[in-house]
């Protein structure tokens, strides 16, 4: 990590040294009311649009216009196979084998599809363990799975809670839960990076712990994919799912991704929902053949891929391919470390960072707790041209994304924050 210094000169120097600095020019930056670029800190909620996305989408619109149904075979990027290279590129981002990844559906839908296969409750072992402050959608999804299988959604849900007066979860507490209740737990489903605190969990350790007690283990990687080095294959997790509109910059509500570990690749006995796109590619169009399950993650698909939505993912993954994930995480740690350094120099008791200070236990997001849950601070930041987000009850989330945020962004953000706090 750099020896951080105060002053604009240090930020300018770091931006000049930054090998990724030119990538900022490949994104559309929202404008402030005075015409200047906003300081955009919400890539953890919705990533910015790559400038090349329009060309990628237009290519498919042109092929649709000119070729009609023949575009499935004759388009520049034939639609019949469109999702296959996306799966390979996505696998690099999440640290998986290409056969373990498929781009399909949306995040919560994928979690449900995964639970169809990997949540296998019995009368004795039926409970689901999640972190207490999981993203609400995950909690709603697992509660509905419990109800669907005839269980009480409160009694069947086990929460891994932070200790009283703390925000971050302790692994000792997770161990204790599994030691005492592991025989009752069918599934452990954790957010790889907690949306609220920004805490990045040790996926491999959690997986080993869950498997030791006979549980299936899956991860919601919405706030982790494109942000941290997930190494999903090496983690040993049974499954994972993520959206692509945050750090992967594929547009609001875009198509999601899914991981299924290769040890499940050829298990045709796993319960699952099926559709014609999970059927053997060689005989898919022989409409009267019996169902023949595809191996790997593709075997969880249902429908043919939505090409126009996937074009935006293709545009963004092309940038990730070009940059390489190691360079991204290297800059991310430097940028977030600089942000943390400047915030601590403020020495203001109105704010407090709740994200882990160990760079290996977080991604680029820093969550700032505001004293007395005073949302006016967030509102004033917005008026000052800083786009962050507020999460109840008292947190401002800021995520300096290495593809398009700069050290100058961080410097000016903290300077404006200082002015507001001193008013």
The string of pLDDT tens digits covering residues 123-135 is 999 999 999 999 9
Instruction: Look up the CATH number of the domain holding residue 41.
Output: 3.90.1150.10
- 221 in any annotated domain: yes
Q: What is the pLDDT of residue 27?
A: 98
> What tokens appear for 68 in the block?
């009609």
- 113 in any annotated domain: yes
- 53 in any annotated domain: no
Q: Which pLDDT band, with edges at 50, 70 and 90, does 276 fall under? A: confident
Residues 134 and 237 in one domain: yes
Residues 329 and 317 in one domain: no
Q: Which pLDDT band, with edges at 50, 70 and 90, does 282 fall under? A: confident
Residues 32 and 134 in one domain: no
Say how many domains are in the chain: 2
Instruction: Look up the CATH number of the domain holding residue 71.
Output: 3.40.640.10
Instruction: Note down the domain range covering 205.
Output: 58-321
The string of pLDDT tens digits covering residues 15-33 is 999 999 999 999 999 999 8
Residues 241 and 342 in one domain: no
C-beta of residue 113 within 8 angstroms of C-beta of residue 125: no
- 2 in any annotated domain: no
- 3 in any annotated domain: no
Residues 196 and 311 in one domain: yes
Residues 382 and 282 in one domain: no
- HSE of 373, CA atoms in CB hemisphere, 13 A: 4
Residues 6+ apart with CB under 8 A from 219: 189, 190, 191, 192, 203, 232, 235, 237, 239, 240, 241
- 1 in any annotated domain: no
Q: Are strands 389-391 and 395-398 parallel, antiparallel or unpaired?
A: antiparallel
Which of 272, 295, 321 is the last residue before a domain boundary? 321
Residues 281 and 351 in one domain: no
Q: What is the pLDDT of residue 292?
A: 82
Average pLDDT score over residue span 275-304: 86
Q: What is the pLDDT of residue 283?
A: 79
Which of 295, 321, 347 is the last residue before a domain boundary? 321
C-beta of residue 317 within 8 angstroms of C-beta of residue 328: no
Residues 18 and 74 in one domain: no
Higher pLDDT, 352 or 282: 352
Taking the C-alpha atoms of residue 20 and residue 369, their distance in angstroms, rounded to an integer, is: 30
- Residue 223's region, left for phi above 0, alpha for psi from -120 to 50, else beta, is alpha
Q: Which residues of 53-66 are buried (b: 16+ CB within 10 A; e: fewer)?
A: beebbebbeebbee
- Looking at 90-104, 191-205, 277-291, which range is the least confident one? 277-291
Q: Which pLDDT band, with edges at 50, 70 and 90, does 1 fall under? A: low
Q: What is the pLDDT of residue 318?
A: 97
Residues 363 and 315 in one domain: no
The string of pLDDT tens digits covering residues 327-355 is 999 999 999 999 999 999 998 999 999 99
Residues 378 and 310 in one domain: no
* High-pLDDT (> 70) share of the chain, %: 100
Taking the C-alpha atoms of residue 341 and residue 116, their distance in angstroms, rounded to an integer, is: 45
Residues 315 and 353 in one domain: no
- HSE of 73, CA atoms in CB hemisphere, 13 A: 2
Q: Are strands 39-40 and 386-387 parallel, antiparallel or unpaired?
A: parallel
Question: Side by side, which strands form the sheet with 101-103?
Answer: 101-103, 257-260, 239-242, 216-220, 185-191, 127-131, 157-160
* High-pLDDT (> 90) share of the chain, %: 91
Which of 288, 321, 354 is the last residue before a domain boundary? 321
- 285 in any annotated domain: yes
Q: What is the mean pLDDT of the chain?
A: 95
The string of pLDDT tens digits covering residues 36-83 is 999 999 999 999 999 999 999 999 999 999 999 999 999 999 999 999
Residues 240 and 385 in one domain: no
- 89 in any annotated domain: yes
Q: What is the pLDDT of residue 350?
A: 92
Q: Is the pLDDT of residue 284 over 70?
A: yes
The string of pLDDT tens digits covering residues 175-218 is 999 999 999 999 999 999 999 999 999 999 999 999 999 999 99
């Amino acid at each position: 990590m750099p020896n951080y210094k105060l002053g604009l000169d240090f930020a300018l120097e770091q931006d000049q040294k930054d090998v990724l600095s030119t990538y900022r020019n490949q994104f559309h930056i929202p404008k402030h009311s005075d015409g200047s670029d906003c300081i955009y800190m919400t890539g953890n909620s919705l990533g910015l649009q790559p400038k090349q996305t329009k060309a990628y989408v237009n290519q498919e619109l042109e092929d649709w216009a000119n070729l009609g149904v023949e575009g499935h075979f004759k388009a520049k990027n034939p639609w019949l196979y469109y999702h296959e290279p996306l799966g390979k590129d996505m696998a690099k981002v999440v640290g998986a084998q290409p056969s373990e990844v498929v781009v399909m559906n949306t995040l919560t839908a994928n979690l449900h599809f995964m639970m169809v296969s990997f949540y296998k409750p019995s009368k004795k072992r039926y409970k689901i363990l999640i972190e207490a402050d999981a993203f609400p959608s995950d909690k709603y999804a697992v509660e509905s799975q419990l109800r669907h299988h005839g269980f009480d959604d409160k009694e069947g849900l086990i929460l891994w809670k932070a200790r009283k007066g703390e925000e971050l979860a302790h692994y000792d507490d997770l161990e204790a839960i599994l030691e005492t209740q592991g025989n009752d737990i069918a599934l452990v489903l954790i957010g790889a990076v907690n949306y609220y605190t920004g805490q990045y969990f040790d996926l491999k350790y959690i997986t080993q712990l869950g498997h030791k007690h006979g549980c299936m283990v899956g991860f919601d990687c919405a706030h982790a994919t494109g942000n941290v080095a997930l190494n999903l294959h090496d983690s040993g997790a049974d499954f994972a799912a993520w959206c692509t509109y945050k750090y992967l910059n594929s547009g609001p509500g875009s198509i999601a991704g899914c991981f299924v570990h290769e040890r499940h690749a050829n298990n045709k006995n796993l319960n699952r929902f099926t559709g014609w796109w999970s059927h053997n590619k060689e005989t898919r169009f022989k409409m009267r053949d019996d169902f023949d399950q595809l191996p790997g993650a593709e075997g969880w698909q249902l429908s043919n891929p939505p090409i126009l939505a996937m074009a935006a993912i293709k545009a963004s993954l092309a940038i990730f391919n070009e940059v390489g994930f190691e360079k991204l995480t290297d800059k991310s740690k430097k940028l977030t470390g600089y942000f943390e350094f400047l915030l601590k120099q403020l020495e203001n008791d109105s704010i407090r960072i709740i994200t882990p200070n160990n760079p290996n236990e977080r991604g680029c997001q820093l969550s700032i707790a505001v004293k007395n849950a005073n949302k006016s601070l967030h509102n004033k930041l917005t008026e000052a041209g800083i786009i962050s987000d507020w999460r109840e009850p008292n947190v401002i989330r800021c995520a300096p994304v290495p593809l398009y945020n700069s050290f100058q962004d961080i410097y000016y953000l903290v300077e404006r924050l200082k002015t507001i706090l001193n008013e």
